[in-house]
Structure 1
Amino acid sequence: MMKKGSKFVKVAMDGAPYLRKIDLQLHNSYQELLCAFKDMFTFLTISVNERKMVNSANGLEYVPTYEDKDGDWMLVGDVPWKMFVDSCQRMRLMKSSEAIGLV
Structure 2
Amino acid sequence: MDSNASSYLLNQAQYYLGKEDSNIIDLGLSLRTLQPEAYYPSTNGENYEVLVDWQHLHPQLKRANTLNPRNVKANFDKELEGIQSKKRWTYVKVNMDGVIVGRKICILENMDYLSLALQLEDMFGKQTLCGLRLFQGESQFSLFYKDKDEQWRAVGDVPWKQFAERVTRLRITRKDI
- The bucket for the TM-score relative to the shorter chain is 0.7 to 0.9
1:22 is aligned to 105
1:6 alignment partner in structure 2: 89
Correspondence 1:89 to 2:168: yes
Cα distance in 1, alignment partners of residues 136 and 99 from structure 2:
25
Give the superposition deviation at 1:49.
Answer: 3.8
Question: Aligned with 2:148: secondary structure?
Answer: coil
RMSD across aligned positions (CA): 2.4
CA distance in 2, matches of 1:40, 1:47: 13
Matched pairs, number: 90
Runs of 4+ in structure 1 deviating by more than 4 angstroms, as ranges, are none
The residue aligned with 2:41 is none
Which structure has the highest strand share of the two? 1
Q: Please point out which of 37, 54, 68 is paired with 2:120.
A: 37
State whether structure 2 residue 151 is matched by structure 1 residue 72: yes
| Equivalent residue, structure 2, for 1:46 | 133
Distance 2:132 2:95 in 1: 17
Provide the rounded CA distance (Å) in 1 between the counterparts of 2:135 and 2:124: 16
| Aligned-partner Cα distance in 1 for 2:94–2:134 | 19
Shift of residue 45, structure 1, vs aligned partner: 3.8
**Structure 1 gap ranges (5+):** 54-60, 98-103
Q: Which amino acid aligns with 1:68?
A: D
Q: Which amino acid aligns with 1:89?
A: T
Deviations 1:51-80 (A, max 9, x none): x74xxxxxxx11010001111111111100
Gaps of 5+ in 2: 1-81
Query: Comparing both structures, which one devotes a greater share of its residues to helix?
Result: 2
Structure with larger Rg: 2
Q: Secondary structure at the match of 2:93?
A: strand
> Take 2:104 and 2:92, find their aligned partners in 1: how far apart are those partners?
5
Match in the other structure for 2:39 = none
Identity rate of aligned residues, in percent? 33
Report the 3-state secondary structure (helix = DSSP H, G, I; strand = E; otherwise coil) of the residue aligned with 1:74: strand
Q: Distance in 2 between matches of 1:93 and 1:45?
A: 9
Task: Describe the SS at the equivalent of 1:38.
Answer: helix
CA-CA distance at 1:47 after TM superposition: 5.1
